[in-house]
Chains A and B, each alone.
Chain A
Amino acid sequence: MNDDMIDLAAGDIRLRRRLEAYADDRLTPDLTATSRLRARVLAHAHRRADLTRADAALSIVPATASRSAIERGLRGRRRAAFTLVAAAILVGAMVGGAAASSSPGGALYEGRLWIENVSLPSEPSARAVAELSRLGDRLREADAAARDGDEGAAAAALAAYERIMTEASIAVVHAGDAVAAAALETGLGRNVEVLEALAGRVPSRAADAIDAAVARAIAKSTGAIDSVGSVERPTPVRGSGSHGTAGGDQGGNGSGSNGGHGGVGTGSSTNGPEATPKPTKAPPEHPEGSGKPTATDRPDATRKPTKTPKPNAEAPGVPQGDGQD
């Protein structure tokens, strides 16, 4: 049996018609399902896009914005608080050395946290980045304490971590700032990985207490991520493409089997549910100038999002475990 004979058999029009009718009736989502599906998938895509943008922000902002914001705060209206803490440090020096006292669990540790807190910038995204910086400090303290087997210091650092995380997530949710939420969500997600790694490095002599503290911090991180993740992310406004990009990301614009092609104009809706699309090849019946919009004529300069240079060293070419047989 050669290929032509097989294709001839496949070309049996009656069988083809029955399969076609079956596909149209039983295998085609209705408009509601398509719109729902598109909205869900696109919501996920937007969420991921926010995280990607936040990644970029995290790699750029801390060195500039957060530091300057903190310095501004120190110079500004909270000078009085600074004076108070200076006095506290002086007292600490008198009792046994400020450095030792301000370490986790030390007498001045809470004071140090307080000064950090009062000097936080008020702008939501800068504040979120500054809070992440503080959280990073707490993790480093907990790690150092765990390496030394100092249960008390590790517990104090992790308790401070939880408190800062809670305050930061409340602030972000209250502000309703999407960029701040995405930044905090990304940072907390990374910190969970650090905490998990920390749990594996705890010396056995202090393992139980520190493990419990780490587990608690991870659990609270998950809750905080969920809470921050609930902050509504706005749909980005797209550029002025010639085929009308407005509404391109709106799930409710579904158009039957074409699934809400709000972003690509209305031409595609004429394909209708009867047509079975061929995924990877372009039919020749849509020449340029036919009025049918395609993605190829989309102007790049007007709507490029922030690109995040990501290392791709681990790229296997197909999804691990999912895309391969």
Chain B
Amino acid sequence: MTLDDTAVERLVQEARSGDAWAFGLLFDHYHLPVYRYIASRVHRPSDAEDLTQLVFVKALEALPRYEARGIPFGGWLFRLARNTVIDHVRTRHDHVDLESASQQPGVDAGPDEVTVARQELDDVAAALAALTDEQRDAIALRFFAGLSAREAAQVMGKQEGTIRGLQFRAIAALRRQLRIDEPDTDRGQDAASDGRVGR
């Protein structure tokens, strides 16, 4: 689903007036990046689902008080998500659970390929777990939620340059952990993609 900034703001105004249909469209637009961000921070799918629901319910309740004031709705929503995750981690002492993370079903392939694919995913999970909280936050917002560096900076309450620095150090650590040492040949083509996943 594609919405431009103007459409989002218009839907926000309608949702503020009690239009559930408009809020449904906002949900459709944002639920996947919000879920991915949360899932990357809490690791248990059931927690990610509950927290995603909580974020949208909180957004619904807080919508009458929302005013853009330089922060677009998406940034505002991800702030809610980030604070919700922080609260969850603080109160539940949530931490990386690699065993539960590796219980996901694999791809549709033969046993050996499944094992290899799972191992690779587990390696990524372990590498992400080894990052600092801020680095992991930056990677989650930039790569999994698909935010720009500026948007991630707004969500984390930091300067854009700080986010880029966190991202750089995180990427270096991930490459080291995953043993991706040699530069890829088609890297140049992807440099323009601004480091986003799935674009």
Contacts and interface: CB of A to CB of B under 8 A. Distances in A.
Given A11-B190, A249-B24, A286-B2, A294 B65 contact: no
A76 interface: no
Contacts of A6: 164-165, 167-168, 195
A10 B28 contact: no
Interface in A285-325: 286, 292, 294-296, 303-308, 310, 312, 314-320, 322-325
Contact of A258 (B1, B59, B189): B1
Contact of B11 (A49, A295, A305, A322): A295
B84 to A, nearest CB: 7
Interface residues of B, number: 108
A141 B32 CA distance: 52
Contact of B199 (A245, A276, A294): A276
Given A268-B2, A316-B65, A323-B80, A279 B146 contact: yes
Given A263-B21, A323-B62, A276 B190 contact: no
Interface stretch (A21-29, A85-93, A97-105, A164-172): A21-29
A15 B195 CA distance: 10
A49 B20 contact: yes
B58 to A, nearest CB: 6
A37 interface: yes
Given A49-B20, A277-B29, A317 B197 contact: no
Given A22-B124, A278-B199, A279-B30, A322 B3 contact: no
B184 A236 contact: no
B197 A29 contact: no
A263 to B, nearest CB: 6
A292 B20 contact: no
A136 interface: no
Interface of B: 1-8, 10-11, 14-15, 17-21, 23-25, 27-33, 35-36, 39-40, 45, 48-49, 52-53, 56-62, 64-69, 71-80, 83-84, 101, 104, 106-107, 117, 120-121, 124-125, 128, 139, 142-148, 151, 156-157, 164-165, 167-168, 171-172, 174-175, 178, 180, 183-184, 186-199
Interface of A: 1, 3-4, 6-16, 18-23, 25-29, 33-34, 36-38, 40-42, 44-46, 48-49, 51-53, 236, 238, 245, 248-249, 257-261, 263-264, 268, 271, 274-283, 286, 292, 294-296, 303-308, 310, 312, 314-320, 322-325
